Amino acid sequence: MSTETDIDFKPDMDASAVIKYLRKNPDFFVHNPALLEVLELPARYSGERIVDLQYEALKRLRAKQDVMVDTSRSNMSVQMATHEAILAMLEARSLDEFISIIQDEVPILLDIDMAAVALEGAVDSIDMSADGMPVLLPTGEVEKRLGDDDVSLMAHVEAGDPIFGAARDLVNSVAIARLYPSDVMPAGLLILGARDENTFNPHQGTELITFMARVAEILIEKYLENSDTDV
């Protein structure tokens, strides 16, 4: 973020140096709007061929500030929705209830079209539950999907991937997060899918999805420790 202290002021600094700095930092006045109140900008003109620099500067500043406000509101909305989804996950009292919350409630809370958790197991292909959601993955599927990454965000995916289960022909954008293995839990995936392209994209932050995956790990491990079910 640009600030007033970014400039290395020197006694011999001339206008060209200031111009060079502002060209490299076009958002300087977005982060320092108070300066516009003390700057001497050209007076307003009414001629058709003369640009009102003060008006244009203020208009661009307001436009950029509006974008920043909209982005901030959007990020806050996503953060609140993710927290609500995690709180819903924490209410589960068993693994079956947890899976149901992931599949039924999390998509509604996150405004997406499908969500699932699937763990690696002794299967040759992706194994689906009765309602068509992935439950078990072949050994090595997590590594195949993520490599060394913890999260993969894809703005567009081709239809038909079985990892999206019954929604395989609907999902166009996806987030996949790694679930780390433990003594009682194999490796797995948290899968989030949306029909709208660019719902997820590689330029987005992954902190919230990573946090959700870590919570899912803790809960699944707890349920498996308290269960006699073999995975």
Q: Over the stretch 42-81, which tens digit does the pLDDT of each residue have?
A: 555 555 554 565 666 666 666 666 556 554 555 566 788 8
Q: Give the residue from 111, 159, 167 showing the smallest Cα distance to 134.
A: 167
CATH of the domain at 190: 3.30.450.40
Domain count, the chain: 2
- Give the total residue count for the chain: 231
CB contact at 8 A, 184 and 210: no
For the stretch 70-101, pLDDT in tens is 545 555 667 888 899 999 999 999 999 999 99
Among 49, 71, 90, which residue terminates a domain? 90
Dihedral-angle region of residue 129 (phi above 0 means left; psi in -120 to 50 means alpha; beta otherwise): beta
Q: What pTM, to 2 d.p., does this model score?
A: 0.66
Domain boundary among the residues 60, 90, 120 is at 90
Sign of the alpha-carbon dihedral angle for 83, 85, 89, 90: positive
Residue 230 inside a domain? The answer is no
More confident residue, 66 or 102: 102
CB 131 within 8 A of CB 152: no
- 11 in a structural domain: no
Does 4 fall in a domain? no
CB 168 within 8 A of CB 161: yes
- DSSP assignment string, 63-88: HHHHHHHHHHHHHHHHHHHHHHHHHH
- Residues 103, 84 share a domain: no
Predicted confidence (pLDDT) per residue in 151-202, tens digit: 999 999 998 999 999 999 999 999 999 999 999 999 999 999 999 998 999 9
131 shares a domain with 43: no
Q: Could you tell me if 83 and 109 lie in one domain?
A: no
Which residue, of 90, 114, 132, is where some domain finishes? 90
Residues 213 and 101 in one domain: yes
Q: Which domain holds residue 137?
A: 94-225
**For residues 153 and 37, which has the higher predicted lDDT (pLDDT)?**
153
